[in-house]
């Protein structure tokens, strides 16, 4: 488990990866960790926002 600051940072990094259209396999955190969960949530949020706005792949 990470500290609150680490979790926020992982979420932000996931969001950035989603905006860059990187694959979800780009997550740098090990399986079954809170940091991986935070990264994936940030990634998924960015993908949803960019897909719904029509900007995906731009």
Q: How far apart are CA 12 and CA 20, in angstroms?
A: 12
Q: How far apart are CA 23 and CA 11, in angstroms?
A: 15
* Token code pair at residue 52: 């719904």
pLDDT in tens, 17-37: 999 999 999 999 999 999 999
pLDDT at 58 over 50: no
- Residues near 49 by Cβ (< 8 Å), separated by ≥ 6? none
pLDDT score, position 2:
77
């Amino acid at each position: 488990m990470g500290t609150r600051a680490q979790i926020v940072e992982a979420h932000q990094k996931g969001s950035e990866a989603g905006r860059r259209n990187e694959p979800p396999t780009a997550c740098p955190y090990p399986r079954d960790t809170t940091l991986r969960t935070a990264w994936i949530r940030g990634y998924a949020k960015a993908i949803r926002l960019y897909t719904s706005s029509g900007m995906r792949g731009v």
